[in-house]
Chain A
Amino acid sequence: MTQDSEWTDLLQQWKGGQAAELPVDTLLAGVKRDHRKQVVAVAGELAAAALLVAVYTVELSNNPPPVIITLAVASLVFVAVWLTQLYRVTRGTWRAPAENGVSYLNLTLQRRRAAVRWLLFVQTCLWAALAFGMAWLPWKLSVDWEMYRAEPWRGLVGVGGYFFLLTALMWSIRRRLGRVTLELAGLEAVAPSMDA
């Protein structure tokens, strides 16, 4: 058997049989659902950033004490970094898959690296917030001890809520970091063999 006829056989085998029809209507319904979810997620991040900016701008305009000024400025800087990273991580998400393989791979690598840097930065911020919370807790308890004894729910909601939120965020960031790191390792492993 010649190589050409062998190849023709393979072509027939590859395309042979009755081709399955795609569930087009189900796919279209899924497209609209997924698109909506992702738009809501991005809008949520932007709205949260806008809310933080608004809250701290109002705080700053009311001649606050130095502690609040420091906190507000740090938060505004955090929001600026957050939005820059959001742009870097999502840049090209919608149109990039239509690029050729090499361009897409390079852009995806850049985006994943930006995502890892961002998640590490957030993780560091959360550790700092946890350290701040641990240092603040004894002081807070000693100052408001009588109030917490009289109304324990305040302690539960205020102090408990702070640490619960922080722990949940740290767990979520850790999971995302694990996932993105895995993807990045996979992309870096295939990248050298895919290039022109």
Chain B
Amino acid sequence: MAVEPLDTRLKRLLVEHGPGIGRVVSGYVRNAAEHQDLMQELALALWRALPGFRGECSERTFVFRIVHNLGVNHITRRKPTEPPTEVPDPSPSPEGRAHQTQQRLRLMGAVKSLPLPQRQIIMLALEDCSHAEIAEVLGITVNNVGVRLNRAREALRQLLGEKP
């Protein structure tokens, strides 16, 4: 079987998982510039990690592991005094879809208000990851995923209920 060149492999991953990557990265950043920086860092990390990927997990799990690990790094590098600037939207907001965009921004804002472990788990669940996949990404047990996800969903519900 022909080995897929690294460039082609990375390009394919970025295209296939691009929308999900973009949404999850948005959950870790505060503005478009940070989004761009983290995306670049992520692409580099993927490129370096890809040669060592032997299919022990799905490609999606592999990609999300890197996204979340770099996301945590990104958050811990910030100065605590830096104020949030804007909520970056990973998708454009075309005319006539203002309501949908507003809802999405409201949801993203609520997700970003969650404590980090809950934020991670809820973003993975919103990306349709199974409990087993979430456990593989975060390195926790499947039972723990269930418990944490329930708490995270409850917290999210409360946040969305509070926000107009």
Contacts and interface: CB of A to CB of B under 8 A. Distances in A.
Contacts of B144: 196
Contact of B40 (A19, A34, A194): A34
Given A13-B107, A16-B100, A22 B66 contact: no
A100 B116 contact: no
A35 B43 CA distance: 11
Contacts of A98: 45, 49, 52-53, 62, 65-66
What band does the interface of chain B fall in when counting residues whose beta carbon is under 8 Å from A? 35 or more
Main secondary structure of the interface of B (DSSP, over half): helix
B9 to A, nearest CB: 11
Contact of B136 (A100, A179, A194): A100
A18 interface: yes
Interface stretch (A41-49, A102-110, A141-149): A102-110
A150 interface: no
A69 to B, nearest CB: 43
Given A24-B11, A104-B139, A196-B141, 17 more contacts: A15-B19, A19-B90, A19-B91, A20-B91, A24-B14, A28-B11, A28-B43, A95-B52, A100-B136, A101-B69, A101-B120, A182-B76, A186-B77, A187-B76, A189-B76, A190-B75, A190-B116
10 smallest beta-carbon distances between A and B, as pairs? A186-B76, A100-B139, A102-B139, A19-B19, A98-B49, A27-B43, A22-B18, A101-B138, A196-B140, A14-B126
